[in-house]
Structure 1
Amino acid sequence: MKLVRYGEPGHEKPGLIHGGTLRDIGHIVPDLAGEHLGRESLGRIRAANPDDLPVVDGSPRIGPCVARPCNFIAVGLNFADHAAETGAPIPKEPILFNKAPNCIVGPNDTVMLPKASEKSDWEVELAIVIGARTSYVNEKEAMDHVAGFCVCNDVSERAFQTERGGQWMKGKGCATFGPLGPWLVTPDEIADVQALDMWLDVNGRRMQTGSTATMIFNVVQIVSYISHFMVLEPGDVITTGTPPGVGLGMKPPVFLKPGDVMALGIAGLGEQKQSVVGWTRG
């Protein structure tokens, strides 16, 4: 299934994409969040006849495909070719950091550069959405705890991330730095999650071309690993790293500026497009 949330920010409704048509599923689940991403709720959606679901008229805004996650976790330097472009060694274990859950926005919403930003950057990533409470799960059973997958743009302020001391999260959780969607795609729709093409353009110029095949730690390894350090709850989001082509890795480096447009996508998971603006609010 391809699940979506549509409507104005803070007032999104759950929907299903079927045959290219957006259909309302609000009578089945109140939202795509928390326990409503569990096996029982997804089973009720799957059991419905899509042709009987109400068609959503017009072209509403598409919101983030997951609402109110408790945790938004990221894996750093998880693509061998990206680690190479940054000159970093291959990690022996996954590098983990937090993104602020309230930085999540819709796939086509505006990205706002933070106040005093100097080095904001782009990162197309595969995100995992958890569907069941997960603690000390083994790799063999990890996929049973996954509700689905989506596209994430792990927007990052590199000066905040690496030049201000402390943790990477300083440059990762700024407002609007977590576009998710357009769809939450359930695992049954994906033949091989470790063989998905990925891409990102800035102003029509291809910057990133990659594949989930070059991930150092794959989906089941990541879910299992993180569950040994914390309890994952339904609706939590894990974004899994980026292929090469980030602005930081270019010679000379290239960073986002107001007026830029990012377009990105992953095979089978849909596409995003964001306009970049400068700091506009306190």
Structure 2
Amino acid sequence: MRTGRIAWQGGIHQVVPGRDAEHVRLADGRELAEGGFVWLPPVAVGTVFALGLNYADHAKELAFKAPETPLVFLKGPNTITGHKALSRRPADATYMHYECELAVVIGQPAYRVAKADAMQYVAGYTVANDYAIRDYLENYYRPNLRVKNRDACTPLGPWLVSRDEVADPMALALCTRVNGVQTQQGTTADMIFDIPTLIEYLSSFMTLQPGDVILTGTPEGLADVKAGDVVETAIEGIGCLVNTVVDDATWFAAA
């Protein structure tokens, strides 16, 4: 099952896909056309755990040794935005890049979960684009606040795809297109730490809660994006997340 969330007529509504890609369906059966509502993240997001260097080719791309244990950092709620949203490229940035990532959504409390049992705690999956500004990075092994906690720097969506609809989340193709040109491709099979390992690791010292999201990292193929670029991050069987990069003037005018 695929579900999403939208803002419409002053309320938040859960929706499912409509009759075509341009429509969504409300719980009462009415359909709304794109442009008549605002996409929200497909779940009410709790804690966001982001993985650094979780693809060996990406670590190599950045000239870093792959980590021996998961490299995880947290993201604040201000960072998350929805499908078709805007993300700001600050005027002082010289290199801002996308990161297409499979996002794992936790469905029930998980504490000290064994790897063999981990997948039963997953509600489903969605697509994330975790933008980074490399100018702001002090240390690749300690991503600082300005790199990964800027407002609306992590679009999420459009759909939450339930766990039972994805036969093997560790065998999904990922790609990114900038203005229609493919710039990144990879597969979740190349993760260093797979989903069960990450759930086992995180739950070994804290309780994961429903709505928590694990961003599982990105493969190689990063490229600088500019104001005006339309960025599509797509994952096989999960969906295509669309986002537009804007300059300071556009961002603050829309605020």
**TM-score > 0.5 by shorter chain:** yes
Q: For structure 1, which segment, 165-174 or 116-125, has the greater mean C-alpha deviation from structure 2 after superposition? A: 165-174
Q: Among residues 207, 226, 246, which one is paired with 1:277 in the alignment?
A: 246
* Kept after mapping to 1: 8 A contact 2:79/2:154: yes
Residue 123 to residue 61, structure 1, CA distance change in 2 (3 Å): same
The structural deviation recorded for 1:163 is: 6.2
**In the alignment, which residue of structure 1 is the partner of 2:89?**
113
Secondary structure in 1 aligned to 2:33? coil
The structural deviation recorded for 1:18 is: 6.5
Residue 226 to residue 24, structure 1, CA distance change in 2 (3 Å): same
In 2, the alpha carbon distance for the partners of 1:58 and 1:96 equals 38
* Kept after mapping to 1: 8 A contact 2:171/2:187: yes
The structural deviation recorded for 1:93 is: 0.6
Residue 89 to residue 9, structure 1, CA distance change in 2 (3 Å): farther
- Structure 2: which amino acid aligns with 1:267? E
**In the alignment, which residue of structure 2 is the partner of 1:38?**
none
User: Deviations along 1:209-263, whole A, 9 cap, x unmatched?
Assistant: 101010111111111111123221110111000011012xxxxxxx222111211
In 2, the alpha carbon distance for the partners of 1:76 and 1:164 equals 8
Alignment: residue pair count: 247
Secondary structure in 2 aligned to 1:229? coil
RMSD: 2.3
- Over the matched positions of the two proteins, sequence identity in percent amounts to 36
Secondary structure in 2 aligned to 1:183? strand
**In the alignment, which residue of structure 2 is the partner of 1:143?**
119
In 2, the alpha carbon distance for the partners of 1:18 and 1:278 equals 33
Secondary structure in 2 aligned to 1:140? helix
In 2, the alpha carbon distance for the partners of 1:233 and 1:102 equals 19
* Kept after mapping to 2: 8 A contact 1:98/1:169: no
In 2, the alpha carbon distance for the partners of 1:198 and 1:107 equals 17
The structural deviation recorded for 1:200 is: 0.2
- Does 2:1 match 1:5? no
In 1, the alpha carbon distance for the partners of 2:104 and 2:39 equals 19
- Whichever structure has more strand as a proportion of its residues is 2
In 2, the alpha carbon distance for the partners of 1:126 and 1:134 equals 20
The structural deviation recorded for 1:115 is: 5.8
Residue 159 to residue 195, structure 1, CA distance change in 2 (3 Å): same
TM-score (norm 2): 0.89
Residue 132 to residue 9, structure 1, CA distance change in 2 (3 Å): farther
**In the alignment, which residue of structure 1 is the partner of 2:150?**
174
In 2, the alpha carbon distance for the partners of 1:166 and 1:125 equals 19
The structural deviation recorded for 1:170 is: 2.8
In 2, the alpha carbon distance for the partners of 1:241 and 1:166 equals 15
In 2, the alpha carbon distance for the partners of 1:105 and 1:190 equals 24
TM-score (norm 1): 0.81
Gaps (5+ residues) in structure 2? none
In 2, the alpha carbon distance for the partners of 1:10 and 1:138 equals 43
- Does 2:168 match 1:192? yes
Residue 166 to residue 243, structure 1, CA distance change in 2 (3 Å): closer
Q: Among residues 167, 188, 191, which one is paired with 1:212 in the alignment?
A: 188
- Structure 2: which amino acid aligns with 1:22? V
Q: For structure 1, which segment, 154-163 or 264-273, has the greater mean C-alpha deviation from structure 2 after superposition? A: 154-163
* Kept after mapping to 1: 8 A contact 2:18/2:31: no
Gaps (5+ residues) in structure 1? 26-52, 248-254
The structural deviation recorded for 1:83 is: 1.3
* Kept after mapping to 2: 8 A contact 1:9/1:63: no
In 2, the alpha carbon distance for the partners of 1:113 and 1:180 equals 18
* Kept after mapping to 2: 8 A contact 1:139/1:224: yes
* Kept after mapping to 2: 8 A contact 1:156/1:171: yes
In 2, the alpha carbon distance for the partners of 1:57 and 1:205 equals 29
The structural deviation recorded for 1:124 is: 0.2
* Kept after mapping to 2: 8 A contact 1:109/1:274: yes
